[in-house]
Structure 1
């Protein structure tokens, strides 16, 4: 795990500087950091963080889950997270509700299937590109490594598999916000 972690921390993607082709078009794991706590939504500024190179880790994810249609870091991260819609990105859902963006539901019976209105999706994409950086590593079966990263960095926006006491109340509130 230590060797994978070192590789992950060596590979940095800065959306305002790097082109998407820097990201492998293969399965892997990634760690997302904010450029500082001051750029985060109000509800996140006072949380407890683990830091990488002086930056707070806010989210960990993978591309290549056996049940997923998207098995590429480039497609999962750049296309879905930095440019997509909240419908296909838990990271976007979390950040969008924390910013108070207006939801647009797919249907009235399921309040989990939503995106934000177009102008808020665009605003979120710009904010993410300007304020987040990503560390990544190519790995064929990233699920076990994802759990290791969640346990190591305790990112506040990871709701699933995050058993940490750190920011537990925040995650509970965030989960509620995402479903209302």
Structure 2
């Protein structure tokens, strides 16, 4: 784990500078950090954060689990998170609802399947590219490593598998926001 963690912290992707091809087309794990807490949605500004390389960690994720259609960090992070629809990215869902962006539901009976209206989808993509930095590592079976990262860094936007007391009330409120 220690070797994978060191590699993760060495590999940085800055969306406004780096080409998407810098991200590996392979399975792996990643940390998403904000450039600083001032750029975050209001509800996130006063939270407790863990930091790497001076940056607050807001989310941990993986790509390439056997059951997933998305098998690589490049496709998961660049296509789904930085350019995608909320439906395929829990990170986008969380940030979008925290910014108060307007949702478009795919079904009148299922309020979990939504995207943001086009104007807000574009604003969210631009904000993410301008304000987030990604640390990544390739790893064949990233699921166990993801749990290790969540337990180690306690990122506030990870709702699943995050049992930390740190920011618990915020995560409960975020979960409710995402289903309204």
Shorter chain as denominator, the TM-score bin is over 0.9
Q: Match of 1:25? A: 25
Paired residue secondary structure (1:123): helix
Q: Match of 1:52? A: 52
Rounded Cα–Cα distance in structure 1 between residues aligned with 2:67 and 2:102: 30
Paired residue secondary structure (1:111): coil
Rounded Cα–Cα distance in structure 2 between residues aligned with 1:23 and 1:87: 22
Rounded Cα–Cα distance in structure 2 between residues aligned with 1:68 and 1:99: 28
- Is 1:171 equivalent to 2:171 in the alignment? yes
Rounded Cα–Cα distance in structure 2 between residues aligned with 1:59 and 1:66: 21
Per-residue CA deviation, residues 122-172 of structure 1 (Å, 9 max, x unaligned), is 000000000000000000100000000000000000000000000000000
Paired residue secondary structure (1:157): coil
Rounded Cα–Cα distance in structure 1 between residues aligned with 2:72 and 2:3: 21
* Corresponding pairs, count: 180
Runs of at least 5 residues in structure 1 that lack an aligned partner in the other structure: none
TM-score by length of 2: 1.00
Paired residue secondary structure (1:24): coil
Residues 140-151 of structure 1: matches in 2 within 5 Å? Answer: 140-151=140-151
Using the TM superposition, give the Cα deviation of residue 53 of structure 1 relative to its aligned residue in structure 2, in angstroms.
0.9
Q: Match of 2:94? A: 94
Query: Cα RMSD over matched residues?
Result: 0.4
Q: Match of 1:136? A: 136
Per-residue CA deviation, residues 60-113 of structure 1 (Å, 9 max, x unaligned), is 000011211001000000000000010100000000000000000000100000
Rounded Cα–Cα distance in structure 1 between residues aligned with 2:136 and 2:81: 14
Using the TM superposition, give the Cα deviation of residue 50 of structure 1 relative to its aligned residue in structure 2, in angstroms.
0.2
What stretches of structure 1 move > 6 A for 4+ residues in a row? none
Rounded Cα–Cα distance in structure 2 between residues aligned with 1:118 and 1:140: 35
Residues 111-122 of structure 1: matches in 2 within 5 Å? Answer: 111-122=111-122
